[in-house]
């Protein structure tokens, strides 16, 4: 693809926006790390604070995302592509100079942070699933129910057994 000349104003706005995107993701990632640490340390108070911080960071990230959409529309006109096709990769391919370098570097940082966030969220999910399983086991022992036994909304015990594997042709 050929390099496209974009206005200095759009280039400056794009660079400011990339800084905002990076700062936004750093804030969200810090909150996810705090959630992870509080889950790992079984610290309920820290977890409540971390979840509040995460929610606040996500609200701010939504504002940055709205600005991203505005910049995509503007950049689409300058780059000669539809707005939905304006990605950091396309922007880097179609620009040159300091802006291109900044876009490439920021894209790499965002990708690394996203990978870490995905890993932490997966681990957080696993810790929560394990905790829920333990709680179900404790509740089962306290109430005298077997693992997997459930109750309807009205409190009646529901049968969860569907037969042996042999009954189903296994």
Q: Which residue matches tokens 């870490």? A: 116
Q: What is the pLDDT of residue 67?
A: 92
Query: Which tens digits make up the pLDDT trace of 16-69?
Result: 999 999 999 999 999 999 999 999 998 999 999 999 999 999 999 999 999 999
Q: What is the pLDDT of residue 168?
A: 36
Query: Which tens digits make up the pLDDT trace of 102-130?
Result: 989 999 999 999 999 999 999 999 988 88
Q: What is the pLDDT of residue 165?
A: 36
Residue 159 has pLDDT above 80, yes or no: no
Q: How far apart are CA 142 and CA 136, in angstroms?
A: 10
Q: Are 51 and 38 in contact (CB under 8 A)?
A: no
Domain ranges within the chain, ordered by starting residue: 8-145
CATH tag for 8-145 (out of 3.40.50, 1.20.58, 1.10.3860, 1.20.120): 1.20.58
20, with CB counted inside 10 A (0-12, 13-18, 19+), is: middle
DSSP 85-110: G--HHHHHHH--HHHHHHHHHHHHHH
pTM to 2 decimal places: 0.74
């Amino acid at each position: 693809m050929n390099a496209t000349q974009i206005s200095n104003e759009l280039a400056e706005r794009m660079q400011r926006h990339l800084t905002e995107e990076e700062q936004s993701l750093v804030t969200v990632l810090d909150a996810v790390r705090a959630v992870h640490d509080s889950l790992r340390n079984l610290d309920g108070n820290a977890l409540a604070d971390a979840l509040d911080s995460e929610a606040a960071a996500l609200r701010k990230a939504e504002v940055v995302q709205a600005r991203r959409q505005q910049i995509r529309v503007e950049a689409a006109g300058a780059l000669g592509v539809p707005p939905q096709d304006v990605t950091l990769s396309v922007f880097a391919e179609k620009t040159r100079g300091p802006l291109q370098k900044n876009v490439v570097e920021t894209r790499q940082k965002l990708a690394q942070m996203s990978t870490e966030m995905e890993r932490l969220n997966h681990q957080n999910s696993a810790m929560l699933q394990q905790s829920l399983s333990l709680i179900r086991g404790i509740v089962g022992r306290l109430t005298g129910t077997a693992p997997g036994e459930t109750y309807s909304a009205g409190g009646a015990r529901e049968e969860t057994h569907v037969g042996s594997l042999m009954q189903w042709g296994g």
